[in-house]
A and B are shown apart, each in its own frame.
Chain A
Amino acid sequence: MMSRTAAPLAFSLILLAAWQAIVMIFHIPEYLLPAPTAIAASVDLALAVSFLVTFIEALMGFLVASALAFAIATLFVRFHTLEEGLFPIAIAIKTTPIVAIAPLLVIWLGTGWWSKIVAAILICFFPVLVNTVKGLKAADLEYRELFETLGASQAQEFRKLRVPYCLPYLFSALKISSSLAVIGAIVGEFVGATQGLGYLIIISSAHLETATLFSAIIAAAFAGIAMFYVISFAEHRLIFWSSGEAE
């Protein structure tokens, strides 16, 4: 355990030191490549607020998209015609780049929270839908026969068999979409916003405040990683019986 965290930590420190040394030795101007110390110095309350704004937008989009996708997947599995009719539309939404839709969202929903939340929803929705549909159908025929011999109703089969069986599939989708949610929120902020990491990135790059730009980029990465680890943690606690190999 010790060596597993020690080695990456040591290498990171070495890289940071090298970075710092190169910037100092070659006198690289800060607007091109700020030193790690300059980036650290740029961390302030404004960055923390921006982080929080983006994180909340991403989280909201992620939660709404997951709940919605799960509900629709349930309907798809229950009513096959619905799946046949709506699945191509879902694929169409998925194939449209979120960057292309984002300006429209800002026109419709304004520069506030909602355009970002909806961008996050759009980007998170599809992976969860596809995997949940797959997972809800994944229970083997023999398990369904077992439930049939026990006289289970459809609702009981769904609750006691299909949903738990689906959880590994659901979680592997949640892990994907949790990082995507941050991308959705930031793309939304790029197009039109007054706060958030995306806004901070646009503004600081326009002003050549590269140290702030770096800290905003790192914060964005951190938001994605934080979401991913929260989901991973929940997954390991919840799905102790599976190694999480379901895709």
Chain B
Amino acid sequence: MNAIILTDRLGAAPLAPAKPILSIEDLNVRFGSVVAIESVSLTVRRGEFVSLLGPSGCGKSTLLKAVAHLVKPTGGRITRPYADLRTSFMFQKPLLLPWRTTLDNVLLPVEIQRGGSTVDAVDRRSALRMLDLVRLSEFADTYPHQLSGGMQQRAALARALMCDPDVLLLDEPFGALDELTRDVLNEEMIRIWQSKETRLSTVLMVTHSIPEAVTMSDRVVVMSIRPARVVEDVPVACARPRAPEDAEAGAIIRRIRAMVRSSR
């Protein structure tokens, strides 16, 4: 595995390597006779933005779901050194409940945590704050079918943040959106990750877009096709904000593209 060079979030001088927040060791997942994931090891450190990059159906989503306990590993371990670590999962689809307003959708995690419908004014205020963070506060009382695809995904992000997570697990969160909306939301994602307004420190994102992975992440973990294995762990140390057209980012994009091609 390559050496990990961590930059701080603004792209200034490298920080001392932070503590691991998630450790995946020799993970195996099989569904019947199909091997989805084969001996994947990966460490995510606090403060990192890590992308899992691979072609569709390579098992990278399964890996993310294993981290979220949605899929049971058949071998290996996933350890979380911090006992009180909170993770939040964001799906490719917004999965908003159509009978709830945007605000009530954002409040869903709180309702479930409280085990009743005892949402109070404090919860409402923090839900509104989350909507503000994703720039959707004007649409608090709107129903999902009245929102555009991008706005629905913003609402889903606000809901994911409502769990007050340390780690955000993103499963191609903007993959179903058009490219322009997607670029905007990717930038918003970085802004929210960098902002000090939430507890969120770390992001683990699944994507099949090389430019997206390189412009957003501190590290790009390139995965092979089924069964998913780690081909290479590529650090991206260039300054933020980045664009795929930047010389440095462009070079890394080309390098990863060549890597993906030869691994097939």
Contact = CB atoms under 8 A, between A and B. Distances in A.
Interface residues of A, number: 19
Interface stretch (B50-58, B106-114, B176-184): B106-114
A247 interface: no
A164 B112 contact: no
A145 B91 CA distance: 9
A149 B168 CA distance: 12
Contacts of B113: 150-151
B68 A149 contact: yes
A125 to B, nearest CB: 27
Given A143-B95, A241-B145, A149 B89 contact: yes
> Which secondary structure dominates chain B's binding surface?
loop
A150 B109 contact: yes
Interface string B78-114: 0000000000110101010111000000001101110
B70 A145 contact: yes
Contacts of A149: 68-70, 88-89
Count chain B CB atoms within 10 A of each CB in A146, A160, A242 and give the residue with the most.
A146
Contact of A150 (B65, B93, B99, B112): B112
A141 to B, nearest CB: 10
Nearest to B92: A142
Interface string A160-184: 1100100000000000000000000
A150 B91 contact: no
Interface of B: 65, 68-70, 88-89, 91, 93, 95, 97-99, 108-109, 111-113, 115, 143-145, 163
Given A145-B65, A145-B91, A164-B99, 11 more contacts: A142-B95, A143-B95, A146-B95, A149-B70, A149-B88, A149-B89, A151-B112, A151-B113, A160-B111, A239-B99, A241-B145
